[in-house]
Amino acid sequence: MNFPFPLSPLYPLARAALFKLDPEVAHNVALHSLKTLETAHLAGFLASRVHAPREVFGLQFDNAVGLAAGLDKNGEYIDAMAALGFGFIEVGTVTPRAQPGNPKPRMFRLTEHEALINRLGFNNGGLDAFLENVQRAKYKGVLGLNIGKNFDTSIENAADDYVTCLRGVYPHASYVTINISSPNTKGLRDLQAAAQLEKLLSTLQAEKNKLAKKHKKQVPLLLKIAPDLDGAAIKDIAGLLLQYGFDGVIATNTTISRDAVRGHKHAAETGGLSGQPVFSPSTEILRQMNKALKGHLPIIGVGGVMSAENARQKINAGASLVQIYTGFIYHGPQLIRDCALALK
Ligand SMILES: Cc1cc2nc3c(=O)[nH]c(=O)nc-3n(C[C@H](O)[C@H](O)[C@H](O)COP(=O)(O)O)c2cc1C
């Protein structure tokens, strides 16, 4: 439902209240409030949707601005998020079994930098609960389902966890994201190294072929990469994605670098840094990946989109679509609209 006078300009007031709370508490309060509004059919008042349709990966997107993974790890808020005007929604990361994640506190705000550091560690309710939530959602737009491995599954057996998740999510996903780039699960990023990655991609592609026959549908597989890769690693990854017939890339996850926030009281916290400081490194990785792929695969650009201009810069660097997470925390639903209009 669209309201003639969207309330999104009032977000700074909500933000002022939320930012007085611990970041993880604020996250939960905001999501519960949104869900309550959505259930009462009022969430549409918070934003007015931009229709700017486009086709990427053979899918029809309502606009080019999506919700990045990790905000709704269990797929509990899909309809509420859709009401805010996102052109597509990605939920997860889900792991086969439920797990609590790392001890709290594990999320930190670096307000001066419009940034967050998190080391949540894939806290989620597991695949079965995730699938129940996804199936309960009424949302009919593009839905990405993001999969990972449990913290206690060894890197040698990681492919088993991804296969378990892929089998579960395949019938319900518009696209599936293989997340091997979170810095908060020990060894996960090692899967980006060529030998490990080849094993993982070949296993997943073989499984996908079976699932495509079984479910009579082709679901695009995307790989989500880190912003902390060097040029050689990017070339290796691009080569393997093309060799194993993957459909696209999400560039990027959070960074382990602290160069841009040195001296901040939270800079030494372990975890992934997101928001404004990750924009430059992330956009550079996007540019290099686009070059390495020679335009053969579409890329979703994510990392530090805090303004419509940032969204344009991602597209200019080679992205076909963008996603936002930290920018949404700092600027609210108005940012979705501003970016979607800028990319129209
Ligand atoms: C608190 C938090 C949790 C996240 N959890 C996940 C996750 O579970 N899976 C994933 O693929 N990315 C996750 N991300 C990464 C985001 O999807 C995104 O790639 C990254 O934050 C960069 O975008 P941003 O600067 O717009 O936040 C998380 C980010 C944050 C801030």
pLDDT digits 0-9 by tens, 14-35: 888 899 898 999 899 989 888 8
Amino acid at 26: A
CA torsion sign for 194, 148, 259, 65 is positive
- Tens-place pLDDT, residues 88-126: 999 999 999 999 999 999 999 999 999 999 999 999 999
Establish if 206 belongs to a structural domain: yes
333 pLDDT more than 50: yes
Of residues 327, 308, 332, the one with CA closest to residue 113 = 327
Establish if 3 belongs to a structural domain: no
Question: SS3 helix, strand, coil % of the chain, rounded to 5?
Answer: 45, 15, 40
Q: How far is CA 58 from the centre of its chain?
A: 19
Q: Could you please report the per-residue DSSP string of 152-179?
A: TS-GGGHHHHHHHHHHHHGGG-SEEEEE
Q: Are 315 and 340 in contact (CB under 8 A)?
A: no
- Tens-place pLDDT, residues 201-251: 999 999 999 999 999 999 999 999 999 999 999 999 999 999 999 999 999
Amino acid at 111: T
End-to-end CA distance of the chain: 21
Tokens of 15: 């933000």
Alpha helices in 182-226 (DSSP H): 194-215
Please state the domain count of the chain. Answer: 1
The CATH code of the domain that includes 241 is 3.20.20.70
Establish if 168 belongs to a structural domain: yes
pLDDT confidence tier of residue 2, bands split at 50, 70 and 90 = very low
The finding on whether 226 has its CB within 6 A of some atom of ligand 1 is: no
Establish if 217 belongs to a structural domain: yes
- Tens-place pLDDT, residues 248-303: 999 999 999 999 999 999 999 999 999 999 999 999 999 999 999 999 999 999 99
Establish if 79 belongs to a structural domain: yes
Among protein residues, the one whose CA lies closest to atom 18 of ligand 1: 253
Q: Which residue has the higher pLDDT, 45 or 132?
A: 132
pLDDT confidence tier of residue 5, bands split at 50, 70 and 90 = low
Establish if 2 belongs to a structural domain: no
Q: Is the pTM of this model over 0.95?
A: yes
Domain that holds residue 335: 8-342
Angle at the Cα of 91 (from 88 to 92), degrees rounded to 5? 155
pLDDT of residue 4: 47
Establish if 1 belongs to a structural domain: no
pLDDT of residue 16: 85
Q: How far is the CA of 9 from the centre of ligand 1 (A)?
A: 25
Establish if 47 belongs to a structural domain: yes
Among protein residues, the one whose CA lies closest to atom 13 of ligand 1: 70
Q: How far is the CA of 324 from the centre of ligand 1 (A)?
A: 9
